[in-house]
Chains A and B, each alone.
Chain A
Amino acid sequence: MADTVVDVHQHEHAGHDGHHDPHWIVKYLWSTDHKIIAMQYLFTGMFMGIIGAYMAYVFRMQLAFPGISVPGFGQVSPGEYNSLITNHGSIMIFWVAMPVLIAAFGNYLIPLMIGADDMVFPRINRLSYQIFLVSAIILLASLFVEGGGFGGAWTSYPPLSAEGDYNQTNLGSSLWLLAVALEFVAFLLGGINFITTLMNSRAPGMKAYDIPMVLWMIVIASILFMLSVGPLIAGAVMLFFDQTINTGFYDPTRGGDPILWQHLFWFFGHPEVYVVLLPAIGITVDVIATFARKKIFGYKLVLYTAVATGVLSFFVWAHHQFIAGIDPRMANVFTITTLLISVPIAELLFVMIATLYGGSIRLTTPMLWALAFIAEFLIGGVTGIFLGASGADIYFHDTYFVLAHFHYTFFPIAIIGTFCGFTYWFPKMFGRMMNDTLGKIHFWGTIIPFNFIFIPLFVLGMGGQHRRIYNFQHFPELAGPEMYSLRQIATISLLIMLAFQAVFFFNMFWSWFKGEKAGKNPWKANTLEWTTESPPGHGNWPPDQMPVVYRGPYEYGHPDREEDYWPQHLPS
């Protein structure tokens, strides 16, 4: 099959390099190997995550103890506060959740789990990471330009975001927008690679229903991303022109419309939630199946509900705008579609819970993370119903209730999901086992404070506290001592949680160099990545041993077998 993109130059280049070790820069920074690119995404994402967490620390300190000089930052001015919350949100979603969950796990797992030697377009893959890196650098640079970083919230509603006169951060907001747009381009390139690879490059014998769920989810997420981001890219170009050359796309006095941006943003923004959710669900499903030693409860059910969720997610976007000035009649339509989306999501969670039934559950660290995902995401899911119902949303919109709700969804997705996947595939990535005790200490040290951060925020939200206010002293009803004690509980819990992350980093580096050797298949799992060396060499498998697939990925506890697992590549 030669009718594919073949790169002659790469051949020649590769021919030169073939027999001696390339310079480490070429090997680690200029590599086209999907595993190296995955690591680049993973560590860039982690680095950005640390920056995002630092921002959270600074503004939580300001909220709990207004006016103090925050250790490691100094006094927080209102402008800095706005910039911190804006960039915290943008970083956590665009530069942490997406690169880690989709790009890092996607790049690492797709070729390994479908039995291919690399992505189909390795050089586009590298380009994708490079654009992503540039976007991250631009974003970080935007924090230090004159006027400071952009402070108009991650939703970037015009006219505030469009006019320097309004946001006082002319350059910062343009750079922010540029960074986001470049990040979109990076993920479009990456997404095309993921989709094409999964569609075309599966190992012989691997049919559509033999693909591990995590890959389906990553690819469905990529498709959702590709189909939803287009209008926002167009909208971002328009906003960029508004900012830089003073056009009037979002200026009501010149025939534009500020509501338009909200629609374009959320037409992308809501599917985006599922773009990051689905890979996390996929990781969880795979981990649960492995450690419960169970076939997942209804493979097709999970797949179809995921697709249904994806399709429905295009019909619900305006529930972010119920009271934002859209026509009130439209709100009824979007209430109905929004509540309907709870059905497939509930079904996904039911299926995950039902998978536990009849299993033989081993509570390893990855399994704890997977179970925590379900338990915590349920809270995020049920509180979403309040916000999707237009009547209740009149009160809850833009309060801390919303904030606590989406942290209860994004935290399980981006943090719990990442730790789940990372601890599960760590042996494959680095060839050594992570320390289980340290892993469990880190787990409990993260999960317990997490709840103590956000449950007080639910209460504050119900008390009418609005978001994005840097100091509550101007609102007598919010400045009471009981309100402050709730804020302080949240902040102190955050400090405890951040402190426990040190355990994770210690565990990671220690296990990386000193951990117990993992072997090929430490978890006794079925999928193809466990059939090669840990870590896999270049090309993943020796060319003459490319795997062939004989069955689905979740054949655990099969009655015909003595062992409780049945790898995909073993002939019957």
Chain B
Amino acid sequence: MSENNEHEHSNDDGHGHDGGHHVNYFKIYVVLVVLFLISVAGPEVGEMTGLRWITLITAFGIAVVKANLVIQNFMHLRWEKNLMKWVLATSLILMFLMVAGISPDVMNHEGNNWENVAAKAAVERGVDGEAEEETMVVAAPVGFTPQGAFQTVCATCHGTAGDGNGPAGAALDPPPANFTDAAFWADRDKQRIMTVIQDGAAAVGGSSLMAPFGALYTDEQVSELADYVISFAPDGAAPGGE
């Protein structure tokens, strides 16, 4: 088949308005460049006069005008069937719908019975501020005792006697550590116990089922808790202190 033929067809069938679109593309281009220059100059003017809205209008208003010029004249949407205009308009409207649905949660930082503490803190400290380790200020439990902490938190899995037979431990694989087992202490020291309590067993290559609990306790408290854990060790098996 002849390529020329094909091309001529494209004029006839494709557009139904032979001989191009009678647009002076150069004129459109010049308008676009002028608009572009205004949009660049806008912020300068806005800054000089201190009027922020000038910046916004020149920036976004002109963006819309420019986009419209390109879409209508360069993409020839102006001559396209209505069907496709509807399709494109629909996709655009859906985006507005999406933003409308999401913005009450994402754009706002508080609402009916909720408050986005972290986002407010981020606004507060600005872009250069360092994020704190723990934005949620949760005081460490006051009146800490290692026994109490072990019985409320650890014993769920490790058992009240530290033998790994806690009620929640039965289903775990690997099973929770048995602190009364001499073999367990063969290669463990206090530092490792503290690391596991703070960062979880995964931090030392163990099972991820042992979650990090560092956020619950201060360093001293973790140290006390680790001593308490070591106290379960059978005589002679306990690792040396620090």
Contacts and interface: CB of A to CB of B under 8 A. Distances in A.
- The answer to whether A and B touch in the complex, with CB atoms under 8 Å apart, is yes
Interface of A: 1-3, 6, 66-67, 75, 77-79, 168, 227-228, 230-231, 252-255, 257, 259-260, 263-264, 267, 314-315, 317-318, 325-330, 470-471, 473-474
Contacts of A326: 104-105
Given A227-B94, A231-B98, A253 B6 contact: no
The majority secondary structure among interface residues of chain A is: helix
24 contacts: A66-B171, A78-B171, A78-B209, A168-B208, A230-B91, A252-B118, A252-B119, A253-B135, A255-B119, A259-B106, A260-B105, A263-B98, A263-B105, A263-B106, A267-B98, A314-B97, A326-B105, A327-B114, A328-B113, A329-B111, A329-B112, A471-B171, A473-B171, A474-B168
Q: Which 7 A-B pairs have the closest CB atoms?
A: A3-B10, A252-B118, A327-B111, A2-B9, A2-B6, A263-B102, A3-B14
Contact of A260 (B5, B97, B104, B106): B106
Contacts of A474: 167-168, 171
A572 B121 CA distance: 75
A252 B116 contact: yes
Contacts of B14: 3
A3 to B, nearest CB: 4
B215 to A, nearest CB: 13
A259 B105 contact: yes
Nearest to B109: A257
Nearest to A333: B101
Nearest to A330: B104
B171 A1 contact: no
Nearest to B9: A2
Contacts of B139: none
Contact of A330 (B94, B105, B121, B170): B105
A462 B173 CA distance: 30
A476 to B, nearest CB: 10
Interface in B1-38: 1, 5-6, 9-10, 13-14
A6 B9 CA distance: 13
Contacts of B98: 231, 263, 267
Interface of B: 1, 5-6, 9-10, 13-14, 90-91, 94-95, 97-98, 101-102, 104-106, 108, 111-114, 116, 118-119, 121-122, 131-132, 135, 167-168, 170-173, 202, 208-209
Contacts of B102: 260, 263-264, 267
A327 B171 contact: no
A564 B139 CA distance: 80
A22 B49 CA distance: 74
Given A227-B90, A253-B131, A263-B98, 5 more contacts: A77-B173, A78-B172, A267-B98, A330-B105, A474-B168
Contacts of A471: 171
A387 to B, nearest CB: 18
Contact of A3 (B13, B122, B173): B13
Contacts of B13: 1-3
A270 to B, nearest CB: 11
Contact of B119 (A77, A257, A328): A257
A315 B116 contact: no
Given A329-B111, A474-B168, A253 B106 contact: no
A428 B94 CA distance: 40
Contacts of B132: 253
B123 to A, nearest CB: 8
Contacts of A228: 94
Nearest to A259: B105
B114 A325 contact: yes
A458 B184 CA distance: 45
A501 B132 CA distance: 56
B173 A317 contact: no
A231 B102 CA distance: 12
B131 A254 contact: yes
Nearest to B12: A3
A231 B106 CA distance: 15
Given A67-B171, A253-B122, A263-B105, A328 B112 contact: yes
Contact of A317 (B10, B101, B202): B101
B149 to A, nearest CB: 20
Contacts of B131: 253-254
Contacts of B118: 252-253
A327 B102 CA distance: 10
A255 B104 CA distance: 16
B20 to A, nearest CB: 15
A314 B99 CA distance: 12
A1 B9 contact: yes
Given A1-B9, A3-B13, A473 B91 contact: no
A474 B170 CA distance: 10
A327 B101 contact: no
Nearest to B208: A168
A394 to B, nearest CB: 14
Contacts of A315: 97
Contacts of B6: 2-3, 6
A318 B101 contact: yes
A471 B106 CA distance: 35
B112 A327 contact: yes
A252 B10 CA distance: 54
Contacts of B108: 327
B109 to A, nearest CB: 10
B94 A257 contact: no
B32 to A, nearest CB: 27
A479 to B, nearest CB: 11
Contact of A257 (B90, B106, B202): B106
A316 to B, nearest CB: 10
A168 B202 CA distance: 9
Nearest to A257: B106
Contacts of A1: 9, 13
B101 A267 contact: yes
B26 to A, nearest CB: 26
Contact of A2 (B5, B114, B116, B122): B5
A256 to B, nearest CB: 9
A6 B97 CA distance: 38
B91 A227 contact: yes
A327 B94 contact: no
A329 B105 CA distance: 11
Contacts of A168: 202, 208
Nearest to A311: B90
Contacts of A6: 6
Contacts of B209: 78
Contacts of B122: 253-255
A470 B209 CA distance: 13
Contacts of A78: 171-173, 209
A551 B161 CA distance: 82
Contacts of B167: 474
A564 to B, nearest CB: 37
